[in-house]
């Protein structure tokens, strides 16, 4: 399935009946050969959108997986780049596949939960790719609060979010069907595997980002034309010499 190097149907079934953490540990060796990995054109487009907003010193790839977004950050950040994920298997693959360019930023990998990050005001830029379906809507305030807490004043939180398909489009029904299957699975089987495509809604996300202290801005990603959401936090000190940052990214 997904080509000769991708996981087979049985492997995906075993993953789906595991916890999220265990499931990604199992999928990690073949993850980059699935459609779940963020495509390189999206990563490159986000990098082009963020480059004029720099320079950035220290960057964090939140829920980094096998490190595709982390590699992108090594071209944007001058000091250090950190990838954080709660799957040891995904981090093992990332360590083997991602290296910083010669003369580039330092590179670190941290196993941790995005809802309880082990950092404080340590980054100028936080990015995340394809991970938000693993968080229930009620978890967004805590998640965004954690991101805000690890950003320095004026930092940015950038994440691409694809526009949902029209209700009459077959892709819309496919996503609805996937979410329905996952809800049934989680009602009948433990541990739960949280992965939903239709719960991360733009209006709700913008509202929760604002409540967490971010200034939210939508941008079009180069080469895609879909809206991108950019939202950095407002300055943490009144009267800061730096004006309120323009925003974060979301496709």
The tally of domains found in the chain comes to 1
CATH number for 33: 3.40.50.150
The answer for residues whose C-beta is within 8 angstroms of residue 181's C-beta and 6 or more apart is: none
Q: What is the pLDDT of residue 2?
A: 61
**Residue 19 belongs to what domain range?**
9-166+192-230
- Flag whether 35 is in a domain: yes
- Flag whether 242 is in a domain: no
Q: What is the pLDDT of residue 163?
A: 73
Q: Distance of CA 73 to CAs 34, 54, 97, 99, Å?
A: 22, 12, 14, 11
| Rounded distance between C-alpha atoms, residue 110 and residue 168, angstroms | 42
| Rounded distance between C-alpha atoms, residue 93 and residue 109, angstroms | 11
Residues 124-181 have pLDDT tens digits of 999 999 899 899 999 999 999 999 999 999 899 999 887 777 777 887 788 888 889 8
Q: Provide the whole-model pTM.
A: 0.85
- Nearest CA-CA partner of 46 in 79, 23, 69: 69
Q: Can you read off the two tokens belonging to residue 34?
A: 């699935």
Q: Can you read off the two tokens belonging to residue 221?
A: 């990603």
- CB atoms inside a 10 Å sphere around CB 205: 20
Q: What is the pLDDT of residue 247?
A: 42
Q: What is the pLDDT of residue 225?
A: 56
User: Which residue bears the tokens 């940052």?
Assistant: 245
- Flag whether 183 is in a domain: no
Angle between helices 88-97 and 20-27 (to 10 degrees): 30
φ/ψ bin of 54: left (φ > 0), alpha (ψ from -120 to 50), beta (otherwise): beta
Determine contact, residues 47/25, Cβ cutoff 8 Å. no
Q: What is the pLDDT of residue 115?
A: 94
- Flag whether 175 is in a domain: no
- Flag whether 171 is in a domain: no
The answer for residues whose C-beta is within 8 angstroms of residue 35's C-beta and 6 or more apart is: 2
- Flag whether 179 is in a domain: no
Residue ranges, the chain, pLDDT below 50:
1, 226-251
Q: What is the pLDDT of residue 239?
A: 20
- CB atoms inside a 10 Å sphere around CB 164: 15
Q: Distance of CA 198 to CAs 37, 149, 189, Å?
A: 18, 27, 21
Beta strands in 160-225 (DSSP E): 217-220
- Nearest CA-CA partner of 65 in 102, 20, 122, 101: 20
- Flag whether 181 is in a domain: no
């Amino acid at each position: 399935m997904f080509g000769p190097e991708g996981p087979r149907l049985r492997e995906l079934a075993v993953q789906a009946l595991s916890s999220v953490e265990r499931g990604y540990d199992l999928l990690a060796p073949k993850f980059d050969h699935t459609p779940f990995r963020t495509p390189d054109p999206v990563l490159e487009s986000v990098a082009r959108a963020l480059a004029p907003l720099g320079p950035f010193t220290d960057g964090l790839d939140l829920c980094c997986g096998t490190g595709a977004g982390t590699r992108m950050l090594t071209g944007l950040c001058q000091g250090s780049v950190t990838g954080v994920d709660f799957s040891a298997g995904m981090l093992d693959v990332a360590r083997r596949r991602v290296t910083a360019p010669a003369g580039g930023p330092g590179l670190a990998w941290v196993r941790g939960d995005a809802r309880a990050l082990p950092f404080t005001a340590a980054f100028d830029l936080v990015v995340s790719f394809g991970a938000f379906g693993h968080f229930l809507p009620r978890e967004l305030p805590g998640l965004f609060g954690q991101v805000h807490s690890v950003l320095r004043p004026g930092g940015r939180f950038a994440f691409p979010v694809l526009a949902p398909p029209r209700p009459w489009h077959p892709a819309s029904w496919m996503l609805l069907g996937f979410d329905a299957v996952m809800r049934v699975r989680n009602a009948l089987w433990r541990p739960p595997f949280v992965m939903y495509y239709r719960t991360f809604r733009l209006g709700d996300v913008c509202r929760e980002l604002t409540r967490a202290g971010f200034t939210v801005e939508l941008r079009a990603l180069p080469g895609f034309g879909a809206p991108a959401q950019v939202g950095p936090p407002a300055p943490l000190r009144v009267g800061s010499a730096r004006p309120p940052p323009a925003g974060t990214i979301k496709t």
